[in-house]
Amino acid sequence: MDQIDQGSTNEPQISQLEKTFENGLWNTRFVVFPAVLCSLLGALLMFIVGSSLILGQVGKMFSYWPLNDAKVNELLGKLIGAIDLYLIGVVLLIFSFGIYELFISKIDVGRRNTDLNILEIRDLDELKNRIIKVVIMVLIVKFFKLVLAAEFTTPLELLYLAIAIFTIALGTYFMHKAH
């Protein structure tokens, strides 16, 4: 019985060098902190630029009065461009929160709010999937903006447009079905 008691207290001794090295290695996770800060700053910048685009278009709208199709398309293109900037800001925000939660610490304030868990990231695959979904939305918005600016003159061009729209819809359907 004494041997069993001795065996349970004989844990391997960790050298001071190993403890110091492991602590230093663990603390290297903080190298992601500049990425967190810069991503937050980039997100804020995208939201500011997108908002200024919209506010600028509101001011221009009154100088465009009365509106015609060309002016409406121009305004719509700018507004869609702002949405694009907002979505890129969201990508940066998700990346910032995700990297912080994965490498530095869980965000306690966010975890107390049980109604909103969109920025709660459990692993790298979840972060990647969320970013991919928003990037796909950015590409869809960019496609929509290009379609608005395009002039279709032949039936074949309209067929290509229809195929492209169907492909995007099908891809979005499968993306949501997989989730």
How far, in Å, are 48, 118, 168 from residue 102 at the CA level?
27, 15, 32
Per-residue pLDDT tens digits for 31-47: 999 999 999 999 999 99
Whether the pLDDT of residue 98 is over 50: the answer is yes
Whether the pLDDT of residue 8 is over 60: the answer is no
pLDDT value of position 31? 93
The answer as to whether 122 is a domain residue is: yes
pLDDT value of position 1? 47
How far, in Å, are 96, 156, 164, 168 from residue 141 at the CA level?
23, 23, 13, 11
Per-residue pLDDT tens digits for 14-27: 788 889 998 999 98
The answer as to whether 174 is a domain residue is: yes
The answer as to whether 20 is a domain residue is: no
Q: What total of structural domains would you count in the chain?
A: 1
Whether the pLDDT of residue 6 is over 70: the answer is no
The answer as to whether 147 is a domain residue is: yes
Instruction: Tell me which residue of 121, 63, 67 sits closest to 95, measured CA to CA.
Output: 121
Per-residue pLDDT tens digits for 130-151: 888 888 888 888 888 888 778 8
The answer as to whether 132 is a domain residue is: yes
| Domain span holding position 98 | 30-178
The answer as to whether 109 is a domain residue is: yes
Whether the pLDDT of residue 11 is over 60: the answer is no
Average the pLDDT over 87-100 and give the result: 91
The answer as to whether 24 is a domain residue is: no
